[in-house]
Amino acid sequence: MTNGVKREGSQALVPSAGMEALGRAIFAKAGCSPEEADRIARRLTGANLRGHDSHGVIRIPRYVQWIGDGVQVPNQTVTLLLDQPSFAIVDGRYGFGQSIGEQTVDIGIARAKKRGVAVTALRNSGHLGRIGDWAERAAAQNIVSIHMVNVRGSLLVAPYGSLSRRMGTSPFCAGIPVAGGEPIILDFATSLVAEGKALVALKGGKPLPHGSLVDGDGNLTADPSPLYGTVPPNGYPDANNGPGALRAFGDHKGSGMNFLMEMMAGALGGSGTAGAIGEPKRRRFCNGMFSFYVDAAAFDTENAFAAEVKSYVDFVKSATPTTPGGEVLVPGEKERATLAERTAKGLPLAVEAWDDILNTARKLGIGEADIEAAVGGPV
């Protein structure tokens, strides 16, 4: 058990076990089975533990609202629309991504184990959260994986050279298993920052780098408010409402990567692109995910893969840092360091974001005593 939450100024330090327990209680009360409530709470808390607050517990109020609005549906099981030996087309039926992603990746892993390679095309999934979760799941089975994700119905990002929203934040993720060690996980939004990072900044959390957004007049800015516009009192910020847009990372190259996610997950995978000409209304929100799986063992004819990976990691890490005393990191390393630190110390949340979570629990009818019991002390 923990000693509850420490509030200091605008920050609340929330023990991760307590956060998970409260998350489980919230999603169970909101209509998810205990197993699904556990998957959601564990994965959202896991994102905060790894430093990706944008895809963590700050989403709890929004997810609960989505259940009420019918955007995401609790307790769904995927449907196989096409079931081939080495690929599958999967319908997520707007279920919670924390469940749907797991089911889909397990289908891909099973086929790759049999055939050496596999592809899954996931349509109509609820929010898949931190995509690194799925690459980690595959890597744990010695499967190399690549995940290309789009967000149908989400227009947040302006293409290179524009101030109009035409794209989602479309993440790209890849995982490489490391024998006897932690996997290499490359996982990022193709926007300069994830939308949730703008939300975190709007709620008083970590500020954004300059130029993360373009405002309605075409000026580059670090201010997240052009994404949300005016938030009504007691309302939840809606990233669809502002006059500005997020920007793609890496100028024309990142904008091109973002475009590719739409082609693969949206068009080829069949989940539908962020927006389509001729459709008068915003398309229904969902994640599409086009994933490749390669069984490392099937390709490792010389039994050299693990040694090659390890030696290259060491080679890269031996590079001279630009800052004296600095460290050169490989993908996934920063998240692991944050995981160790936050597991020990707790999750730092903006007080406003923490209060939103507590109020979500209260609105669902979870009493103060039960909230404190879940968190392990005063909140």
Binding site for ligand NAD (CB under 6 A): 52, 54-55, 127-132, 149, 151, 169, 171, 173, 185-189, 193-194, 197, 287, 329, 331-332, 334-335
Q: How far apart are CA 235 and CA 354, in angstroms?
A: 15
Give me the phi and psi of 147, to 5 degrees please: -125, 125
Of 95, 99, 78, 183, which Cα lies nearest the Cα of 135?
A: 183
Cβ 179 to ligand NAD shortest distance, Å: 20
Pick the closer one to ligand NAD by CB: 21 or 47: 47
The residues facing 83 across adjacent strands are 88
Pick the closer one to ligand NAD by CB: 49 or 193: 193
Burial 357-366 (b: 16+ CB within 10 A, else e): bbebbeeeeb
Q: How far apart are CA 105 and CA 131, in angstroms?
A: 11
Cβ 66 to ligand NAD shortest distance, Å: 13
Pick the closer one to ligand NAD by CB: 16 or 170: 170
Cβ 302 to ligand NAD shortest distance, Å: 28
Pick the closer one to ligand NAD by CB: 253 or 362: 253
Residue type, 186: L
Cβ 249 to ligand NAD shortest distance, Å: 7
Q: How far apart are CA 99 and CA 117, in angstroms?
A: 23
Pick the closer one to ligand NAD by CB: 101 or 376: 101
Give me the phi and psi of 120, to 5 degrees please: -120, 140
CB contact at 8 A, 87 and 49: no
Cβ 217 to ligand NAD shortest distance, Å: 26
Instruction: Find tokens 């009420």 and name the residue.
Output: 68
Cβ 328 to ligand NAD shortest distance, Å: 7
Cβ 131 to ligand NAD shortest distance, Å: 3
Q: How far apart are CA 79 and CA 240, in angstroms?
A: 30
Pick the closer one to ligand NAD by CB: 319 or 344: 319
Pick the closer one to ligand NAD by CB: 142 or 287: 287
Pick the closer one to ligand NAD by CB: 55 or 203: 55
State the first-to-last Cα distance of the chain, in angstroms, to the nearest integer: 14
Pick the closer one to ligand NAD by CB: 129 or 205: 129
Cβ 190 to ligand NAD shortest distance, Å: 8
Taking CA atoms, 32 is separated from 37, 63, 79, in Å, by 5, 11, 19
Strands in the chain per DSSP E:
6-8, 11-14, 79-83, 87-91, 117-125, 143-152, 157-158, 171-176, 184-189, 213-214, 220-221, 245-247, 286-295, 347-350
Cβ 146 to ligand NAD shortest distance, Å: 13
